[in-house]
Amino acid sequence: GAGVSQSPRYKVAKRGQDVALRCDPISGHVSLFWYQQALGQGPEFLTYFQNEAQLDKSGLPSDRFFAERPEGSVSTLKIQRTQQEDSAVYLCASSPRPLLGTDTQYFGPGTRLTVL
């Protein structure tokens, strides 16, 4: 079966542009997560969906960041008016159910965003 896929793999944006990053989770997975990974750092949590409901968006760094999952499958992370500090790898992960115990999250390959 296919894993988590993300597109595009690489995105270059000029400062001030809007970008949209797509995540296709494993089919049927209920939980979906977005993380931001700066160069040389560990991933940092951005937001969490259970089906179409965004249950936790406490990690979004500013109101320029917006995520949606309207039909409970594909998710899009949108960044408005990009700034240089937004340059990072954006990781998406999914899990078959609401997380319990040591349930694993299955990660995608990430989108590397570079803001010039």
Partner 1 sequence: AQTVTQSQPEMSVQEAETVTLSCTYDTSESDYYLFWYKQPPSRQMILVIRQEAYKQQNATENRFSVNFQKAAKSFSLKISDSQLGDAAMYFCAYRSETSGSRLTFGEGTQLTVNP
Q: Are 103 and 33 in contact (CB under 8 A)?
A: no
The one among 14, 40, 63, 84 contacting partner 1 by CB under 8 A: 40
In sequence order, what are the residues at sequence separation of 6 or more whose Cβ sits closer than 8 angstroms to the Cβ of residue 113?
A: 11, 13, 19, 21, 79, 82, 86, 87, 88, 89, 90
Stretch that binds partner 1, among 12-20, 65-73, 78-86, 98-106 (CB under 8 A): 98-106
> Considering the rule CB under 8 A, would residue 30 count as an interface residue with partner 1?
no
* Chain residues in the site for partner 1 (CB under 8 A): 3, 31, 33, 35, 40-45, 48, 55-56, 59, 89, 91, 93, 95, 98-99, 101-102, 104-105, 107-110
